[in-house]
Amino acid sequence: MSEDRFAPFETQLDEAAALSVLREATEGADDGELFLERRRSEALVFDDGRVKTASYDASEGFGLRAVRGEVAGYAHSTELSESALRRAADTARLAVGQGGGVMAPPPAGTNRHLYAATDPMRDASFADKIDILKEIDAYARDLDPNVVQVSASMAASLQEVFILRPEGGLASDIRPMARLNVSVIVEENGQRESGSSGSGGRYGLIGLISAENWKPAIREALRIARVNLRAEAAPAGQFDVVLGPGWPGVLLHEAVGHGLEGDFNRKKSSAFSGLMGKQVAAKGVTVLDDGTIPDRRGSLTIDDEGTPSAKNVLIEDGVLVGFMQDRQNARLMGALPTGNGRRESFAHVPMPRMTNTYMLGGDASPADILADLADGIYAVGFGGGQVDITNGKFVFNCTEAYRVKNGVVGAPVKGATLIGDGPTAMRQIRAIGNDLALDPGIGNCGKQGQWVPVGVGQPTLMIGGLTVGGSAT
């Protein structure tokens, strides 16, 4: 780790004074903390033979929170000073009112480190990064003369956080992140189609920007674009659908995962509210949220309240057994925090959020699952989607899908959307493959205007009776 480290209590704030202000703000509260953060990030985009974007951002600041019952007072600032802390404390204190609360027990400490304290932005010079992006562009065009446009991007960031609690506990974390994405557009007989591929995680750029990584990524993007060139219009109607392993777990994330976050269930606005201990999915379906997987994009050594991340079982053999909790919602629901209190930055309050959410594998072979699909769709890749938390209804766009009849994978289809609701889809799972895979490290999750990195995963699945939107007549 570079000597240029974030050390707010050595350079900008007196820790004892900060603790005194925090204690004043949270006297009579149920919970609270001082969250300090520095984040640095860079992004390079090489598009159509030229540098389109080259940006570097740096920010630092604090957020001070006082919680009493269901109310949280929060104030934040980019100024790290005692006077700014006192102004923030006056604001946060408004949530406490006359007090009377009992401070929740502090998070357990941990010496675990799930990722190296490395700065990805220092792994290569600016000139070297541009040269690599140029190589990617040239390689893609050499692979296929039908390539008319190439876009390659690399991003790296380093987030450093400190969390000071009223009882005096201090936790810290250094969180690297790196990502590489490539996309191509091919043209044939006047028709243009695109394909993309990417990977990333909580580590340096070195592995991502090596030719051993980006050459296969380009070939995968080109393969998808070529598939789309020969794709036919997707059929419309109700079909059995087989989902591929890995990234298609984004459907699980959206249609089921959000509904298992504590705040939605405490407020009874989730489709899963009141169903704890009940059968909510087919037998054999086990869903976890696991923030402890080393180097994964969604992993956290500690969450943004200082709670160590955990491997949390949400659905076990089809039965709802757990929710994802931050400290406030856990306390109000009589549960324990699960390490899922996350925030986008110091300017945001924490809330229950997913980390790496996935379904465990079963015992069926993917080939046998496809062979059992009499008439349906095999969906391998997904783009954007929407979900209504209150009823679990979702709509997802397929970026790579195939028509299947009598167990034979046929022509690719384009314009397919999958429509259904999470609870029903989970109950209609008919087969679970033995090929559990996690996504390549490209996921972001939005909730109430906050974005955080996440991971998803699943094995090959067959789901009965999904509605497929398409344009084929």
Q: Residues 374-388: what's their mean pLDDT?
A: 91
Q: Using one digit for the tens of pLDDT, what is the confidence trace for 57-75? A: 999 999 999 999 999 999 9
In terms of Cβ atoms closer than 10 Å to its own Cβ (0-12, 13-18, 19+), residue 344 is middle
The CATH code of the domain at 8-229 is: 3.30.2290.10
Report the side by side order of strands in the sheet with 50-68.
71-77, 50-68, 31-47, 147-164, 170-188, 191-201
In terms of Cβ atoms closer than 10 Å to its own Cβ (0-12, 13-18, 19+), residue 371 is middle
Q: Using one digit for the tens of pLDDT, what is the confidence trace for 4-22? A: 899 999 999 999 999 999 9
Please list the alpha-helical segments (H only) found in 256-405: 262-266, 327-332, 366-371
The residue with greater pLDDT, 4 or 146, is: 146
Ranges of each domain in the chain? 8-229, 233-469
Q: Residues 345-357: what's their mean pLDDT?
A: 98
> Counting every residue, how long is the chain?
473
Percent of the chain exceeding pLDDT 90 equals 95
Please list the alpha-helical segments (H only) found in 94-183: 126-143
pLDDT of residue 472: 73
Q: Cα angle vertex 342, ends 336, 64, to 5°?
A: 95
pLDDT of residue 3: 60
Mean pLDDT, the chain, whole residue set = 96
Q: Which tokens in the block code for residue 74?
A: 């929060």
Q: How confident is the model at residue 321 (pLDDT cuts 50, 70, 90)?
A: very high
What DSSP state is assigned to residue 254? I
pLDDT of residue 213: 96
Other CB atoms within 10 A of residue 273 CB: 15
Check whether 189 has a pLDDT greater than 80.
yes
119/4 Cα distance (integer angstroms): 10
Check whether 473 has a pLDDT greater than 60.
no
Least confident span in 205-209, 294-298, 383-387: 383-387
Q: Residues 353-378: what's their mean pLDDT?
A: 98
Residue pair 95/67 in contact (Cβ under 8 Å)? The answer is yes
Check whether 194 has a pLDDT greater than 90.
yes
Check whether 2 has a pLDDT greater than 60.
no
Hey, which residues does 62 pair with through a beta bridge?
36, 77
Q: Using one digit for the tens of pLDDT, what is the confidence trace for 223-246? A: 999 999 999 999 999 999 999 999
What DSSP state is assigned to residue 324? B
Q: Using one digit for the tens of pLDDT, what is the confidence trace for 242-257? A: 999 999 999 999 889 9
Q: Using one digit for the tens of pLDDT, what is the confidence trace for 307-316? A: 999 999 999 9
Hey, which residues does 404 pair with through a beta bridge?
376, 409
188/148 Cα distance (integer angstroms): 10
Check whether 386 has a pLDDT greater than 90.
no
Check whether 88 has a pLDDT greater than 80.
yes
Hey, which residues does 401 pair with through a beta bridge?
379, 413
Q: Which tokens in the block code for residue 193?
A: 């189609």
Q: Using one digit for the tens of pLDDT, what is the confidence trace for 388-400? A: 988 889 999 999 9
Q: What's the whole-model pTM score?
A: 0.96
- What contacts 252, CB < 8 A, 6 or more positions away? 287, 357, 358, 359, 456, 458
Residue 133, CA distances (Å) to 179, 371, 377 in order:
13, 41, 36
Q: Residues 181-185: what's their mean pLDDT?
A: 98
Q: Using one digit for the tens of pLDDT, what is the confidence trace for 255-285? A: 899 999 999 999 999 999 999 999 999 999 9
Q: How confident is the model at residue 383 (pLDDT cuts 50, 70, 90)?
A: confident
